[in-house]
Amino acid sequence: MNILDKIVEKTYERTKVLDLETLKKEAKALCAEDFPFFHALKGKNIKIIAEIKKASPSKGLICKDFDPVKIAHEYKIADVDCISVLTEPFFFMGDNSFIKKVKNESLKPILRKDFIIEEAQIYESKIIGADCILLICAILNDEKLKKFLEIAHSLGLSAIVEAHDEKEVKRAVNSGAKIIGVNNRNLKTFEVDFKNSLNLRKFVPDEIIFISESGIKTRKDIETLENAGVNAVLIGETFMKTENKPREVLKLRGQLNED
């Protein structure tokens, strides 16, 4: 069993306690905002989605003195475009409560980074304050992908449909995705190939926002992706491992020379 299979298996276990009808009723009672995450990624310059992540299956504990509020404050100073918050508890040491804490500190739109495999999780995402969810092609069939997109959009939630290869990208396009994220990290082996985004960009129509995820470390990486027509980047470990996140953001934006 690969890492992704183990995560999905554990996710099924932790979602058994979710009451779909209760969550649906509570989520639908909330205001459906006008897709702030989607609008934050539009525009000419490449956008930065900065991640808040304590650990990962491939790296283990990434941030020892983990404080989501402090990190959110640093991202606010850096004026990143959006924030991604890991909520998966067993492999990434995340928690749903992180989203509210980050939301209280920053007004930036928030992606709930988790493994959505059940309808109830979408309503839960709305309730805990997320502006966007992640839908991973590798763990969802076409029927669920389309259904989950429809539910998210009905709640005013954006959805990043994540793909890793040509087949998955075409599935994402056909699902009606408005945002597609290409993961440079193979979720089965967790190996990273930065060229993955460059190779797959041509399969995504220009009207769909294209995000490159994982393995982005330098200003040169950003420039390469921007020249290829990438709209946004999702960056986790590069930010989590630096002590001065605002400075790192400036470097990646080309507003400060790299050391």
Could you list the active site residues?
51, 53, 113, 162, 183, 213-214
Topology of domain 3-11+34-252 in CATH is: TIM Barrel (3.20.20)
Q: What is the pLDDT of residue 138?
A: 95
pLDDT at 258: 64
The residue behind tokens 């449909």 is 161
Q: Give the model confidence (pLDDT) of 141-191 as tens digits.
A: 999 999 999 999 999 999 999 999 999 999 999 999 999 999 888 777 778
**The pLDDT of residue 259:** 58
CA distances from 76 to 12, 36, 69, 222 (A): 34, 16, 10, 20
- Residue (of 66, 69, 45, 42) closest to 56 by Cα position: 66
In the three-class reduction of DSSP (H, G, I as helix; E, B as strand; rest coil), residue 236 is classed as: coil
- Segments of the chain with pLDDT less than 70: 1, 258-259
Report CA torsion sign: 234, 99, 133, 190: positive
What is the chain's mean pLDDT, rounded? 94
Instruction: Break the chain into its structural domains and give their ranges.
Output: 3-11+34-252
Q: How far apart are CA 109 and CA 254, in angstroms?
A: 23
The pLDDT score that the predictor gives to residue 234 is: 97
